[in-house]
Amino acid sequence: MTVFEINGKLLIVDAGVLFPEDNHPGVDLILPDINNIKDRMQDVVGIVLTHGHEDHIGAVPYVLRMREDIPIYGSELCLAFVEAKLKEHRIKAKTIVVKEGDVQKLGPFECEFVAVNHSIPDALAVFIRTVAGNVLHTGDFKMDQLPLDGRITDLRAFARLGEEGVDLFMTDSTNAEVPGFTTHEREIGPVLDTVFGQSRGKIVVASFASHVHRIQQVLDAAARHGRKVVMVGRSMVRNMGLAADLGYLNVPDGVLVDLKAVASLPDDRLVLIATGSQGEPMAALSRIANRDHKVEVGPGDTVIFASSLIPGNENSVFRVINGLMRLGARVVHQGNAKVHVSGHASAGELLYCYNIVRPKNVMPVHGEIRHLVANGALAVQTGVDPDRVMLAEDGVVVDLSEGVARIVGAVPCGYLYVDGSSVGEITDAELKDRLILAEEGFISVFAVVDSSSGEIVAGPHIQARGMAEDESVFDQLDLTGPLAEAARDYRDAHQLEQVLRRAVGQFASRKLRRRPMIIPVVIET
């Protein structure tokens, strides 16, 4: 999510989500921190979406909760995905469909849209004209010269905009460390054909629920091999239904069948397309691996992971792969077959773009810091002044004036966690508590004292949860002495609770080599 400001007006480009990792227990989604502008929502002239992937549109409903009538601009497919998401949140939004070549005036911003190729149809770059300078934001893109839908990245438009003058070039950094050029999407088709031809049982293909091009290739391969296809997973069914209705997905006649038909079809005539390519615990594929789904796999069946590993998800994915192989399934993934290509430009493509656009300033976006640094280094190789490369992480403020970009400060910026029905209420401190509970265990200490004399009436009693040791280990811990000593100078229950916490904590650290969560409770009578 990027916010542009000029003359007191704000333009938002993309509003996506992150997915929780192992250090985010209990978290459902991670939103960009929009607290810095939540009091300025009336100044927002629009939200521009570059494409329909979750990491670019997933936070839109949460932004619109603050102001529902913000106009949203995006391609037809992108807005179809957004509107389906908004419907679940009971939000009626103002959406404006745009396509390549369109120009929209949004307050002091003039936005021109440019076709780019990505792993989802209808992706767009946006060229933003302002009195302070021009910005070209690529969104996610690559330069596949043989795309399945024939829609290539419009380098002629990039060159034209470069001639007009690009004061700040914000370009996708995801594959900046990868040398050369990203493989053509259509090279996946023959590999899928080979895998389908070798498979004797049912085939399960795991893919992102928005990867229309990959689903198209699976449908085509299934048709060639006389197999029926079943979509599994709510988001997969919804998104592919929208893509088919809008003409972005061509479903061969008679290939697609309902999940209810699985029981009546022989395994060698069945293909299931499921969510869960990143090892998400509640997704269809994880449940299949755990034997918690109506679809079962076993010896003779083939599972294809038709996606790349998102950094941080490796353990979850390998856990699912191990579970599937334990059931006897053959698992085909990026590590042992060419069943996925990236949707992002590699270093060679980025060099081409820098030489075509010839930007005055560069701000690498979309990636971890190592990707941003690698992208910035590519810009320098093409002649961009190192001082004109803005390596900006979340919250950094970049000022563009008279053709010069500078990092001028930063705003407070963290993460907003969605946890059940709460949004932004879970803090990093509470996540730390959850990790302690998960990793170190929990000890509660209970005591009753006479409020007038400070005398211990009952306890202290200790209960432990999540500890490897039996509770009898605490028999050697003397809490009566420290409590009695503290009671001589009795002030309130909180004073005694701190004494208990300190004594139990020292014992657990010294004897058990653990740092559990300790909750002391002292009740006054």
Burial class (CB in 10 A: 0-12, 13-18, 19+), 172: buried
Q: Which residues contact 486 (CB under 8 A, 6 or more apart)?
A: 495, 496, 499
Residue 372's Cβ-count burial label (10 Å; 0-12, 13-18, 19+) is: buried
pLDDT at 438: 75
Q: What is the pTM of this model?
A: 0.84
41 phi and psi, to 5 degrees? -65, -25
In the chain the domains, ranked by start, together with CATH numbers, are 2-181+342-425 (3.60.15.10), 185-332 (3.40.50.10710), 440-524 (3.10.20.580)
Is the separation of the CB atoms in 300 and 201 below 8 Å? yes
pLDDT in tens, the chain (525 residues): 999 999 999 999 999 998 776 677 777 788 898 888 999 999 999 999 999 999 999 999 999 999 999 999 999 999 999 999 999 889 999 999 999 999 999 999 999 999 999 989 999 999 999 999 999 999 999 999 999 889 999 999 999 999 999 999 999 999 999 999 998 988 888 988 899 999 999 999 988 888 898 899 999 999 999 999 999 888 888 999 999 999 999 999 989 998 888 888 898 999 999 887 776 767 778 888 888 888 888 899 999 988 776 666 677 788 888 889 999 999 888 777 777 888 999 999 999 999 999 999 999 999 899 999 999 999 999 999 999 999 999 999 999 998 899 999 999 888 888 877 667 667 777 777 777 777 778 888 888 877 766 677 777 788 888 776 777 777 777 777 777 777 667 667 777 788 888 888 888 888 778 888 888 888 877
Dihedral, CA of residue 217, residue 219, residue 225 and residue 229, to nearest 10 = 150
How many C-beta atoms lie closer than 10 Å to residue 245's C-beta? 10
Residues 6+ apart with CB under 8 A from 365: 2, 137, 170, 171, 172, 173, 372
Rounded to whole angstroms, the Cα distance separating 524 from 492 reads: 8
The answer, yes or no, to whether the previous bond of 147 is cis (omega within 30 of 0) is no
Among candidates 98, 119, 94, which has minimal Cα distance to 110? 98
One-letter amino acid for residue 360 of the chain: K
β-bridge partners, 346: 175
